[in-house]
Amino acid sequence: MLFLAIRHLLSKKQQTFLILLGIGLGTTVYVIISGLQLGMREFLVERLMSNTAHIKISAKERLIDPKDIQKRFYPDDSFIDWAVPPSGLRDEAHIQYPQGWFEFLREQPDVLGYSPAFSTNVILSRSEITLPSQVVGIQPNKERQVTDIEKYVNVGSLDDIAAGGSKVIVGDELLKKTGTRVGESIFLSAGRGDKVPFKVMGTFHMGVKEIDSTMIFAYLEDVQKLAKSPGRISSISVALANIDLAGPLAEQWSLMAKDKVESWDVANANFMQIFKIQDISRIIITAAILVVAAFGIYNVLTIMINQKKKEIAILQSIGYPPRMIMELFLLQGIILGCCGAVLGLLIGHFSNVLIGSIDLGANSALPFGNKLIISYRPSIYIIGFIVAVMASIIASLLPARAASKMTPLQIIRSEI
């Protein structure tokens, strides 16, 4: 049966080659698009999960509402007309009772660790250079339990700021802008006092320009002192034993206090939406190409059946039942699908290797450097092969079924 199916396909070499090329093209496009999109996704998720807690507890911004003020100061007067209605924040956003959260989190069996932080905007100055920056106060021992930020420290260590003493680790791009080297000092001002000198103990590189060129890490108490906000906490990052519990626990904890409690997927909903759009676009593009290839298989097998009517009549006359005739042409579709899928996977893989090796230049605006990140996860190739073969089988069913219903008498009459 296999030998006969191959002989049929080789009898029309040009048509067979074009169909293989069509299936291979569809599979190739799927592999390339999947490699590019999933490579970008893996980079973003790695950076996201390395620097984002499973659950983040932060302060809610308390906006001034003219109606609340009117009710408080003029409860009996409903004819107040503001010339300039009050607006803005009531005060700087911070967690009202962080100690209560610490005690609560220590008792939770699903919590692996938590890390308090206090961040504030500052002005970095060095000689005549002044740059807006953000300094984040952390406790390195607790931060390690929640994020993998330490692996992005390329000079020095988080331990260098663990003891405090006005020491910082600065984004490498930010340090380049100031012309400062490790071991020298920079001056930070939170707008509430004089410039405070901080010694640069190291640098970090996360691969995201917006972070590497603006962020500074320091010891928590040093940042609180700089901002003249002793004991103040702006966020608490929580790591869980099971990340799937982040959503339910965040909803449950949000009922306990007025603070903002968000799971990692809610806090990064924009990224999750982008991932869904990528998946949909990849499926649509691949499906469109494979549908075209499937129609090609359908047409080729239909033409081949019309051209092979005499052979079908001979096979039936020597004892081939309709089921075997159907299997013969269905087998041809499977052969086309498998060979085309393998061809497409090979071309797609080597295309991705080539694309991933292209140097986009030092001025590339990509967040991960001057080369595209390509994913080579096995699921891409497995799905690509299965989809191509399934499309080929489905496209072969109708012609194969039509061939199985032919009878020698019908074939002879059609030839007369």
Report the half-sphere exposure of 386 (CA within 13 A, side-chain side).
6
- Give the confidence band of 49 by pLDDT, cuts at 50, 70, 90: low
Indicate the helix (H) or strand (E) that contains 117. Answer: strand 111-126
With bands split at pLDDT 50, 70 and 90, how would you rate the model's confidence at 150? Answer: confident
Tokens of 278: 């990528």
Convert 57-71 into a string of H (helix), E (strand) and C (coil). Answer: EECCCCECCHHHHHH
Q: Which residue has the higher pLDDT, 290 or 1?
A: 290
Greatest mean pLDDT range, 39-53, 313-327, 385-399: 385-399
Alpha carbons 99 and 117: distance in angstroms, whole number: 13
**Bigger pLDDT: 316 vs 29:** 29
Q: Which ranges constitute the DSSP H helices of 196-268?
A: 209-212, 220-226, 246-253, 264-267
Model pLDDT, residue 129: 85
pLDDT confidence of residue 70? 60
Say if pTM beats, i.e. exceeds, 0.85.
no
Angle at Cα 66 formed by Cα 65 and Cα 72, nearest 5°? 95
Q: What is the pLDDT of residues 112-123, one digit of tens each?
A: 899 999 988 899
Greatest C-alpha distance within the chain: 104
Across the range 328-337, mean pLDDT stands at: 79
Given this model, what pLDDT does residue 345 score?
92
pLDDT (mean) for 98-105: 89
Angle subtended at Cα 5 by Cα 2 and Cα 7, rounded to the nearest 5 degrees: 110
Token duo for residue 265: 């997927």
Tokens of 230: 């002793």
| pLDDT number for residue 40 | 79
CA neighbor of 312 nearest in space, from 410, 406, 413, 398 = 406
pLDDT tens, position by position, 188-221? 988 766 789 999 999 998 877 788 899 999 999 9
Find, among 349, 357, 358, the residue nearest to 378 by Cα. Answer: 349
Half-sphere exposure for 342 (CA within 13 Å, toward CB): 5
For the chain, the average pLDDT equals: 79
- The band of 414, judged by pLDDT with boundaries at 50, 70 and 90, is low
The pLDDT value given to residue 21: 81
Average pLDDT over residues 323-352: 84
Using CA of residue 391, residue 395, residue 401, residue 403, what is the dihedral sign? negative
Q: Say which residue, 59 or 51, is predicted with more confidence.
A: 59
DSSP bridge partners of 118? 137
- Measuring CA to CA, how many Å separate 63 from each of 20, 68, 306? 64, 10, 77
Mean pLDDT of 358-374: 65
Specify the 3-state DSSP secondary structure of 234: coil
Whole-number pLDDT of residue 215:
92
Query: Does the pLDDT of residue 389 top 90, yes or no?
Result: no
Q: Mean pLDDT over residues 377-390, rounded?
A: 86
Is pLDDT above 70 for 5? Answer: no
Cβ neighbors of 204 (< 8 A, separation 6 or more) are 149, 152, 153, 154, 169, 170, 171, 172, 212, 217
pLDDT score, position 219: 93
The answer to whether 180 and 124 have CB atoms below 8 angstroms apart is no
pLDDT of residue 127: 79
Q: Assess whether pLDDT exceeds 80 at residue 368.
A: no
Comparing 151 with 326, which gets the higher pLDDT?
A: 151
Residues sharing a CB contact under 8 Å with residue 383, sequence separation 6 or more, in sequence order: 30, 34
pLDDT tens digits for range 249-278: 988 888 887 888 888 878 777 777 777 887
Report the percentage of the chain scoring pLDDT > 90: 13
pLDDT in tens, 223-237: 999 888 888 898 899
Identify the pLDDT of residue 308. 62
User: Residue 48 belongs to what H/E stretch?
Assistant: helix 13-51
Q: What is the mean pLDDT of residues 114-141?
A: 89
